[in-house]
Amino acid sequence: MKITAYGQTDIGQCRQINEDCFLVDSRNELFAVADGVGGQPAGEIASWFALDQLLHYLLELLEPVSDPVQAFNSVIKRSNLAIMRAAVEKPHWHGMATTLVAAWLRDQMLVIANVGDSRAYLVRDQKMVQLTEDHNLHNEQQRLGLNLSEQELAGLSNVVTRALGTDSSEPEGQIIDVQVGDRLLLCSDGLTSMVDDTIIQTVIQSTTSPQEGCRMLIDLANRNGGRDNITLILVYFDKPTLTQKLTEALTTRR
């Protein structure tokens, strides 16, 4: 299978700084987006630190991993503790927090985990499915069955109930099979709040490279107002090239 990945971030049209961060590590097959929590200090530090620690602890995992979901969740929890320790050691970082959505590819299986409202989507068979659930007050109120108006619910969608750097940081993990033709999207809410899901799906399905898809989606988000930082990663799973098939065949024979 041919795997190509690309990430891009943009400050948007209204923010003074970019508190988003992304990681595309094709060698270790790790992809992640972090969105520093607005209204808190050092959001840009929190998002960068989360991804740095995520990769650090992932590389410390001992093989073989019997339960990839549990292992990935433990790596995220360790990253959370590292952020909290850093905030204690440096008072001007006190209170920093970030969302996280991450994907780890293992033997054509994707381990997905998230904390907060950054999202993972899978495009397959002309359909786009949101893989993650937002950890925000909007969803919490709906789960509790409270009878709030759409306007009241909309005002709660930006308030996250889980974030790295806080005690409420439990990740939700899952594992899915990867198929040829799949498209994976990881993104901050700066994209999904500005561009409708149907448009996002159309762009992903109509572009032949993740670079082109990222560029077009960021342009659309900015054209629609760009009210927040915009960050996304696209991973395309395509048929292997002839060269790749020959290389794999030679490697197998050895």
Domains in the chain (CATH in brackets) are 2-253 (3.60.40.10)
Q: What pLDDT is recorded for position 144? A: 65
Tell me the pLDDT of the chain averaged across its residues.
Answer: 91
How large is the average pLDDT for residues 118-140?
93
Q: What pLDDT is recorded for position 148? A: 57
How large is the average pLDDT for residues 54-80?
93
How large is the average pLDDT for residues 158-162?
86
Q: Is 141's pLDDT higher than 90?
A: no
Q: How far apart are CA 221 and CA 199, in angstroms?
A: 11
pLDDT tens-digit series, residues 215-241: 999 999 999 999 999 999 999 999 987
